[in-house]
Structure 1
């Protein structure tokens, strides 16, 4: 396994551990403190008035994130194909 793969695996493990360390207790606290009823009431009383400025900003942000992920995937896959070609004299 190359050193880049080892580093990537370690970073992924650290990020996964950190997310689980933060999310699991927060979820348990939210489920036990009655916040579920607050969220339901907020969702019911929310105005139903179109997309709005934040909806447009959220859609653009989502598009940029998806585009960045796709671009990263394409660049990584192109580099792998170049480096694994056995006929390549480099």
Structure 2
């Protein structure tokens, strides 16, 4: 088994464990507190018109997050150096 497969399977197992650790108790709590009827009522009474303040704020937040991710990728790929030549006089020995 290659090292990439080993790392991938470990990451997948860790993510699955974290998701189950968070989702199962939250689902049990939501099912036991009668939260389902509150959520249905909130969905029915929700306003249908416009985005409102939180829609605008959420959109801006999403754009900032995407811009930050793109900026990080560009900076990392730009600062990636080529392997140094051992014949180069500045090569550490």
Instruction: Please report the TM-score for the alignment, with normalisation by the length of structure 2.
Output: 0.57
Question: Alpha carbons of 1:35 and 1:60: their partners in 2 closer, same or farther (altered >3 Å)?
Answer: same
* 5+ residue gaps, structure 2: 1-10
Alignment of 1:67 with 2:64, yes or no, is no
Return the offset for 1:30: 1.4
> Secondary structure of 2:47's match?
coil
Q: Indicate the residue corresponding to 2:27 in structure 1.
A: 27
> Secondary structure of 1:50's match?
coil
Return the offset for 1:38: 1.5
Q: Deviations over 1:14-58 (max 9, x none)?
A: xx59x5444431233113433222212201111112111221111
* 5+ residue gaps, structure 1: 1-11
Q: Which has the higher helix share?
A: 1
Alignment of 1:54 with 2:51, yes or no, is no
Instruction: Please report the TM-score for the alignment, with normalisation by the length of structure 1.
Output: 0.59
* Aligned equivalents of 2:35, 2:59: Cα separation in 1: 27
Larger radius of gyration: 2
Q: Indicate the residue corresponding to 1:43 in structure 2.
A: 43
Q: Across the two proteins, how many residue pairs are aligned to each other? A: 74
Q: Indicate the residue corresponding to 2:83 in structure 1.
A: 86
